[in-house]
Structure 1
Amino acid sequence: MQENENYKILLVDDEPDILEFLAYNLKKEGFQVQTAQNGREALKVAQEQLPHLIVLDVMMPGMDGIETCEEIKKQPQLQDSLVAFLTARGEDYSQIAGFEAGADDYIAKPIKPKVLVSRVRALLKRFRPASEGEADGGKGLIVMGELTIDRERYVVQLRDQELNLPKKEFELLLLLASKPDKVFTRDEIYNAVWGDNIIVGDRTIDVHIRKLREKIGQDHIRTIKGVGYKFLE
């Protein structure tokens, strides 16, 4: 429990009963928990508390979870915060919209307390501040033509334009670019970027690849049908 006390979690839902249920079970495990009942309040609390994990309801009046996530990802001080959507909706388009907004995972409700705690712990194992660098070791730059990936600053430079990518997009790009022309299988990508103990939708990688191509161009990442993806110099 002592280890959990180091983690701050922000819960966002417009239904007080759900907030109370989630907060009670996470506080019981020793987590520091803050709550908010709408997107605007969530942004304010997040900027003040800098939580490690933000659990967002998708369906909220006013600013919904997707919009809130997009705003969170625009804040430099929240770049390291993980975001998980809490939703009863299972439609593919909802999950795709969430991952496009920068979400790290989905938690379906209703959820049992033990499962909730297990999912939260699994998510928090993935928390790593950008300043610590990535798992492939070493800091510095990867330079490929007009594209530069700065591991220390967590930014991508395309010609004279600086791109601040959401964390998972950056990690995916860094993984592929770390070994040009190597074909990374979908399983390798899932394990390296999302963690092998995290369950994410089948379309997650495809969504992130599409968003990367929109930002860095169509020529850098090639799809190897039925296998995975590789980065071209």
Structure 2
Amino acid sequence: MTRTILIVDDDRQIAELVDIYLRNEGYSTAIAGDGEEALRMFEAQPFDLIVLDVMMPRMDGLELCRRLRRDKSAETVPILMVSAKAEDMDKIMGLMTGADDYMTKPFNPLELTARVKSLLRRSYQYSKPAKSEDDGSLFIGGLKMDRTTHKVEADGRLLHLTSTEFGILYLLASQPGRVFSAEEIFQHVWREKYFESNNTVMVHISKLRDKLEQETGDKLIATVWGVGYKIDA
């Protein structure tokens, strides 16, 4: 099945360069010049992943990301955010609005392509049907996690998680009591090499905890200082 990717960037040259590289990998692509156009295109047809620039006129990437994450049809679609802003706080802001990954400009198109492949693999990994002897469901802390539908429920209420948040929660819940380091979580969920200065895991766990506490009254994920994160049985 051909995956369809929406490229959102007001710099046409960059958008067309990304488009060429992704098409060469066999993906189907579409280009939007700003957030408003991208929102209209997403409402008209589904996309499997979005490459999203931050600095754009009319509606920037952060606002578009917020709106998409409030849309049930878009809440699990992987978003790769790109920006000329390289400061840690800018990256954190991007991840906190719901992006799954973040790259700074200028970027190597080959690296961007690799990130896209990784995000799509991860999205598929947690949504594919489970084997017949394992229906993919986990129960912990009042939550039910279903890998076959990529859904998490708390007392029958659906929690709206991104594919990355689901991946982290499912990993921790699959082995209650075990402490996973940030490096282990990154390698399991992102399937990429981890760098010591990478705060991506911390930001996603912070966002995930907020969602869990809002819905269940319990942050559920415990921090073991200097070691990593766990969910107690």
User: Which of 57, 70, 82 is 2:78 aligned to?
Assistant: 82
Change (3 A) 1:29 1:209: closer
Change (3 A) 1:37 1:188: same
**Pairing 1:33-182 to 2, within 5 Å after superposition:** 33-128=29-124, 131-133=127-129, 138-159=134-155, 161-182=157-178
Structure 2 regions of 5+ residues with no counterpart?
A: none
Instruction: Please give the alpha-carbon distance, in whole angstroms, between the structure 1 residues aligned to 2:194 and 2:180.
Output: 18
| 2:188 match: secondary structure | helix
Letter in 2 for 1:96: I
Name the residue aligned to 1:13: 9
8 Å CA contact 2:180, 2:230 repeated in 1? yes
Structure 1 regions of 5+ residues with no counterpart?
A: none
Letter in 1 for 2:228: G
| 2:80 match: secondary structure | strand
Q: How does the TM-score come out when normalised to structure 1?
A: 0.83
Name the residue aligned to 1:193: 189
Deviation at 1:39, TM superposition (A): 0.9
Letter in 2 for 1:51: F
Q: How does the TM-score come out when normalised to structure 2?
A: 0.83
Deviation at 1:202, TM superposition (A): 2.0
Superposition RMSD on alpha carbons, in Å?
2.8
Name the residue aligned to 2:229: 229
Letter in 2 for 1:38: D
Instruction: Please give the alpha-carbon distance, in whole angstroms, between the structure 2 residues aligned to 1:97 and 1:89.
Output: 11
Instruction: Please give the alpha-carbon distance, in whole angstroms, between the structure 1 residues aligned to 2:117 and 2:151.
Output: 28
Change (3 A) 1:160 1:57: same
Q: How many residues align?
A: 228
Deviations 1:115-170 (A, max 9, x none): 443443444333417541579x9325322353332333323223353212122111
